[in-house]
Structure 1
Amino acid sequence: MLHLAVMPYRLHFRKPAPTSRGILTTRTIWFVHAWRSEAPEQVGWGESGPLPGLSRDGSEEFGLRAKQFCAQFNDAHFDSIDEAQQWVQQAIWDFPALAFGAEMALRDLHTGAQRRWWNTPFTRGEQALPTHGLIWMDDIDGILQQIETKIAAGFTVIKLKIGALPFDQELALLRTVRNAHPDVEIRLDANGAFSPAEALDRLDALAPLKIAFVEQPVQTGMWGVLADLCRCSPVPIALDEELIAIRSPEERDALLSIVRPQFLIIKPTLLGGFAASEDWIAEAEMRAIRWIINSLLESNLGLNAICQWTSALGGAQIHGLGTGGLFTNNPPSPLTLNGNCLQIDPSLPWQLPDLAETDA
């Protein structure tokens, strides 16, 4: 019989991390464990890490709800992993981070509990996976220094947050970067910072800088405004936070059909896991909408799984995957960063926390 359990783990940032939702110094995640009663020594691992203020299930009661979820799962007495995964999928709309962790743990158990969720050239250490260079919020000099460091390290795609500084300063900064690096791809995330009245003018101002896309230019819920922007903007529009509030396949299909964005930002932690994310991708491709996969401050466990899944999907686009270097107590893994590429080194072992001592 299959069992699930969750255990909290507190990640500590190497330095305070400024985000659009405040400065983070710690982050609590929950490791999800899956095992069979007849072989309890073989444990599949998953990770649930809702982000308060962003995730649909990011409330203070998440730990209690996760334990209740596991109790309900255990009471169902599943023997088939396929049946168990179908049950887990029922939670994707209300508890996406929890569904993500449970799906990951069950898949790990199914594939041998070796943290090889997919078998691809990347997971075997034969191919690398390029990623973007994420630029953290800072003052102008700090942002420019980060950009130069990333480009010197080999990154060909950089992503910046905009909206925290006066727009004329951000525009001047972007002109400086574009003039110095004409071939670097620049992606922007506005986090809803533009008002509906000013959004198109600001997108027009960004157009000469060859911006790849702007994520979430206005606040969520403004489908009509977004639809107009996606139709008229000279810069492609990507939806990110807009996806979080969707609670049914019908609502998802309506959003994509009405707004018609040029890109979707796919974050499995926010959308309910891999199967749910693949549903978003399938619906996007039916409408000729492109997509980029992004991680979301996962530990090395969740990051490895997302990278492996990304490699299994294939495609030539460069995604927004973390590098594992943000936390002082990130469980060591075989994932390494070489230049702008993530790669698995099979000679490096996993060093996962003790099952009884995960509240670090």
Structure 2
Amino acid sequence: MSLTARFEKKTFDFKRPSGTSRGVLTQKHAWFIYLKEDDFEALGECSIITGLSPDFVDFDQYEAKVKEVVANISYYVLHQEELETYPSILFGLEMALENLKQKQELVYFPSDFTTGQLEIPINGLIWMGEKQFMYDQIQEKIAAGFDCIKMKIGAIDFEAELELLSFIRSNFSKDEIEIRVDANGAFAPEDALEKLERLAAFDLHSIEQPIKAGQIAKMRDLCKSTPLAIALDEELIGVYGTKRRELLETISPQYIILKPSLHGGIVGTKAWIALAEELNIKWWMTSALESNVGLSCIAQLTALYNTNMYQGLGTGQLYTNNIESPLEIRKGKILTKID
């Protein structure tokens, strides 16, 4: 059996410019690794977010690495650990290899999820923007049957964000709608605690990354004294091997959020989960703006774990030119549609 490999770059266009605290996104780039054995061509996605992915410097550097992996595919299949510091490329390769094992289009980890019997509850994502735009999105998500919403904060005026939260809570109790907020590191350490105290008044589930990553002692102190559960996200980027345990034991967060493209591929994500469970830290999985290819793999990986947490797997509807897949979002849950 001979294995051949190729890659292809694809650009996805957002249906509408999507605001984060790192700026507005209009396009998303991904490189697809194709592995062919016998008559089956498997597919994996290497997905990056500019300014966040630890393995992306620029297009030339990144594509050269993808090209190198594809040109030396037999070597990298046997030495995947050499891609540890290239988590998105490692994830793309792992994905293609899992798909090759299954020899079934877009099937990576077969389970009740891939046969349409299991649905995974997800959060509805509210993008940043003008207050009215955010308000409209919240109404839309609630009407669509979501009972957990995630709101990005830190880009508009903090008081306006509190007003939005106040509006949601005046209409829906915490038993009706779970609210998560994501600050993407937007708070200054000196006033973070005060902001967390004000946010906690709205019965929120958690806040992601209140302060910028890399301020370990400050984050540890925040996690110790916070009135609102803290979830680490960017903090986990670029942390490998034994450093993972060190980080979790030092900071002792309430939650961690896992994105295979950023946090070590499939192997790294499984390592984070094992550690979190050992240390009684809860976790959930989130896609990092992957197309439906990466999203399929992440959802299928999530389904292997017995978790009833809401997951961050609703990004498949973002693009005008997404890749076709059997994934569907119905009443706040993601599922595999079986014809």
Structure 2 residue identity aligned to 1:31 = F
Measured against aligned partners, the alpha-carbon deviations of 1:260-298 in whole angstroms (never above 9, x if no partner) come to 000001001111222210100111111111001001111
Shift of 1:140: 1.2
- Secondary structure of the equivalent of 1:328? coil
Pairing 1:1-360 to 2, within 5 Å after superposition: 1-36=2-37, 39=38, 41-60=39-58, 61-74=61-74, 76=75, 84=77, 87-92=79-84, 94-182=85-173, 183-246=176-239, 248-347=240-339
Measured against aligned partners, the alpha-carbon deviations of 1:13-51 in whole angstroms (never above 9, x if no partner) come to 122222222222221101111123xx1x31111000111
Paired residues, number: 334
Say if 1:259 and 1:216 are closer, same or farther in 2 by CA, change over 3 A: same
Q: For the Cα contact (< 8 Å) 2:5–2:34, is it kept in 1?
A: yes
Task: Give the distance between the partners of 1:199 and 1:67, measured in 2 at CA.
Answer: 43
Measured against aligned partners, the alpha-carbon deviations of 1:208-267 in whole angstroms (never above 9, x if no partner) come to 211111111111111000000100001011100011131x31211111111000000100
Task: Give the distance between the partners of 1:293 and 1:308, measured in 2 at CA.
Answer: 11
Task: Give the distance between the partners of 1:171 and 1:69, measured in 2 at CA.
Answer: 47
Shift of 1:327: 1.1
Q: For the Cα contact (< 8 Å) 2:276–2:283, is it kept in 1?
A: yes
Structure 2 residue identity aligned to 1:165 = I
Q: For the Cα contact (< 8 Å) 1:43–1:113, is it kept in 2?
A: no
The TM-score, its normalising length taken from structure 2, stands at 0.95
- Secondary structure of the equivalent of 1:313? coil
Task: Give the distance between the partners of 1:221 and 1:338, measured in 2 at CA.
Answer: 38
| Stretches of structure 1 lacking an aligned partner (at least 5 in a row) | 79-83, 348-360
Structure 2 residue identity aligned to 1:72 = N
- Secondary structure of the equivalent of 2:30? strand
| Stretches of structure 2 lacking an aligned partner (at least 5 in a row) | none
Provide the residue aligned with 1:350 in structure 2: none
Structure 2 residue identity aligned to 1:28 = H
Shift of 1:72: 2.7
Task: Give the distance between the partners of 2:217 and 2:252, measured in 1 at CA.
Answer: 11
Moved more, 104-113 or 12-21: 12-21
Measured against aligned partners, the alpha-carbon deviations of 1:93-135 in whole angstroms (never above 9, x if no partner) come to x100000000000110011243211221110012222210000
Task: Give the distance between the partners of 1:89 and 1:117, measured in 2 at CA.
Answer: 20
- Secondary structure of the equivalent of 2:287? coil
Q: For the Cα contact (< 8 Å) 1:323–1:337, is it kept in 2?
A: no
- Secondary structure of the equivalent of 1:158? strand
Moved more, 317-326 or 225-234: 317-326
Seq. identity, %: 38
Provide the residue aligned with 1:81 in structure 2: none
What root-mean-square deviation, in Å, do the aligned CA atoms of Structure 1 and Structure 2 show?
1.4
Measured against aligned partners, the alpha-carbon deviations of 1:289-319 in whole angstroms (never above 9, x if no partner) come to 1001001111111111111111111211111
Structure 1 residue identity aligned to 2:133 = G
Shift of 1:7: 1.1
Q: For the Cα contact (< 8 Å) 2:289–2:315, is it kept in 1?
A: no
Task: Give the distance between the partners of 2:140 and 2:105, measured in 1 at CA.
Answer: 35
Task: Give the distance between the partners of 1:194 and 1:245, measured in 2 at CA.
Answer: 21
Structure 2 residue identity aligned to 1:49 = S
Q: For the Cα contact (< 8 Å) 2:33–2:46, is it kept in 1?
A: yes
Task: Give the distance between the partners of 1:220 and 1:338, measured in 2 at CA.
Answer: 34
Q: For the Cα contact (< 8 Å) 1:98–1:272, is it kept in 2?
A: no
Task: Give the distance between the partners of 1:201 and 1:19, measured in 2 at CA.
Answer: 22
Shift of 1:323: 4.4
Structure 2 residue identity aligned to 1:227 = R
